[in-house]
Chains A and B, each alone.
Chain A
Amino acid sequence: MTETIRIENNTFIMHCYGALFWKEKSFLIISDVHLGKVSHFRKHGAAVPQSAIHKNFELLSDVIDYFKPDHVCFLGDLFHSSINNEWQLFENWVATINSQILLVIGNHDIISPVKYEALHIKLASEIIIDNFLFTHHPEEREKFYNFSGHIHPAIKLKGSGRQILKLACFFCSKTQMILPAFGEFTGTYTLQPTKEHQVFVIAKDEIFKVNLSE
Chain B
Amino acid sequence: MNREELYTIAENWFQENNWTPFKFQKDTWKAFLQGKNGLLNAPTGSGKTYALWFPIILNYIKSNSEYQTKHKKGLKAIWITPLRALSDEIRQSADRVSQDLGTQMTVGIRTGDTSTKERASQKKNMPDLLITTPESLQLLLATKGYAKIFKDCTAIVVDEWHELLGTKRGVQMELALSRLKATSKKLRIWGISATIGNLDQAREVLLGTESKALENSVLIKAKLNKKITVKSVIPKKMETFPWRGHLGLHLLEDIIPIINTSKTTLLFTNTRSQCEIWFQKILESHPEFAGEIAMHHGSINKETRLWVEQAIRNSSLKAVVCTSSLDLGVDFAPVETVIQIGGPKGVARFLQRAGRSGHRPGKESVIYFLPTHAIELIEASALQQAVKHTVVEDRMPYLSSYDVLLQYLTTLAISDGFYPNEIYDEVVKTFCYQALTKEEWQWLLNFVVMGSQSLQTYDEYKKVEIEEDGKFKVNNRGIAMRHRFQIGTIVGDANLTVKYQKGGYIGSIEEFFVSKLSPGDIFTFAGRNLEFIRIKDMQVHVRNSNKKTNKVPSWMGGRLTFSAQMSDLLREELYKASANKKLSPELKALKPIFDRQQKESIVPKPNEFLIETFKSRDGYHHIFYPFEGRFVHEAMGSLLGYRISLLAPITFSLAFNDYGFELLSDKEIDMQQVLDNNLFSTDYMLSDLQKSLNATEMARRKFRDIAVISGLVFTGYPNKNIKMKHLQSNSQLLFDVFRDYEADNLLFKQAFTETFEHQLEEGRLRLALERIEKQDIIWKSCSKPTPFSFPIITDRLREKLSSEKLADRIKRMTAILMKK
Contact = CB atoms under 8 A, between A and B. Distances in A.
Interface of A: 37, 39-52, 55, 80-81, 84-86, 88-89, 108, 155-165, 167, 184-187, 192-195, 199, 201, 203-204, 206, 208, 210-214
Contact of B810 (A48, A160, A208, A214): A208
B588 interface: no
Contact of B817 (A46, A50, A55, A193): A193
A193 B711 contact: no
B47 interface: no
Interface stretch (B563-571, B574-582, B726-734): B726-734
B815 interface: yes
Nearest to B452: A50
B618 A161 contact: yes
A40 B460 CA distance: 8
Interface stretch (B106-114, B739-747, B764-772): B739-747
Nearest to A43: B460
B462 A162 contact: no
7 contacts: A45-B462, A45-B479, A48-B737, A51-B742, A163-B653, A199-B815, A213-B816
Contacts of A185: 729, 733-734, 737
A187 B729 contact: yes
Nearest to B480: A45
A41 B460 CA distance: 10
A67 to B, nearest CB: 23
B618 to A, nearest CB: 6
A143 B185 CA distance: 80
Closest 7 CB pairs between A and B? A47-B451, A161-B619, A160-B666, A159-B813, A161-B666, A49-B742, A192-B818
Nearest to A195: B817
B746 to A, nearest CB: 11
Q: In the complex, which of the residues B725, B741, B814 has the most CB atoms of chain A within 10 Å of its own CB atom?
A: B741
Contact of B814 (A49, A50, A192, A212): A212
Contacts of A210: 810, 814-815
B816 A156 contact: yes
A162 B798 contact: yes
A37 B181 CA distance: 42
Contacts of A52: 737, 740-741
Contact of B461 (A43, A51, A156, A201): A43
A187 B733 contact: yes
A80 B742 contact: no
A43 B725 CA distance: 12
B143 interface: no
Nearest to A194: B818
Given A165-B806, A192-B818, 17 more contacts: A43-B460, A43-B462, A44-B478, A45-B462, A51-B741, A52-B737, A52-B740, A80-B726, A88-B458, A157-B815, A158-B816, A159-B813, A162-B618, A162-B619, A185-B733, A192-B817, A193-B818
B817 A86 contact: no
Contacts of B742: 49, 51
Nearest to B461: A42
Interface residues of B, number: 57
B3 interface: no
Contact of A42 (B460, B483, B618, B815): B460
A13 B324 CA distance: 57
Interface string B415-436: 0000000000000000000000
Q: In the complex, which of the residues A47, A51, A157, A167 has the most CB atoms of chain B within 10 Å of its own CB atom?
A: A47
B295 interface: no
B447 interface: yes
B117 interface: no
Contact of A44 (B452, B482, B730, B817): B482
A89 B459 CA distance: 11
Contacts of A161: 618-620, 651-653, 664-667
Contacts of B807: 203, 206, 208
Nearest to A160: B666
A173 to B, nearest CB: 12
B50 interface: no
A48 B734 contact: yes
Nearest to A185: B737
A84 B813 CA distance: 43
B788 interface: no
Nearest to A188: B733
B623 to A, nearest CB: 14
B236 interface: no
Interface string B630-665: 000000000000000000000111000000000011
B820 A194 contact: yes
Contacts of A37: 726
A51 B734 CA distance: 13
Q: In the complex, which of the residues B666, B727, B745 has the most CB atoms of chain A within 10 Å of its own CB atom?
A: B727
B810 A157 contact: yes
B725 A81 contact: yes
Contacts of B618: 160-162
A164 B463 CA distance: 39
A102 B391 CA distance: 71
Contacts of A164: 653, 800
B741 A163 contact: no
Contacts of B460: 39, 42-43, 84-85
Nearest to B733: A187
Contacts of B813: 157-159, 163, 165, 211
A202 B701 CA distance: 24
A106 B451 CA distance: 29
B805 to A, nearest CB: 9
Nearest to A54: B741
Contacts of A41: 727, 729
Given A44-B479, A199-B815, A55 B741 contact: yes
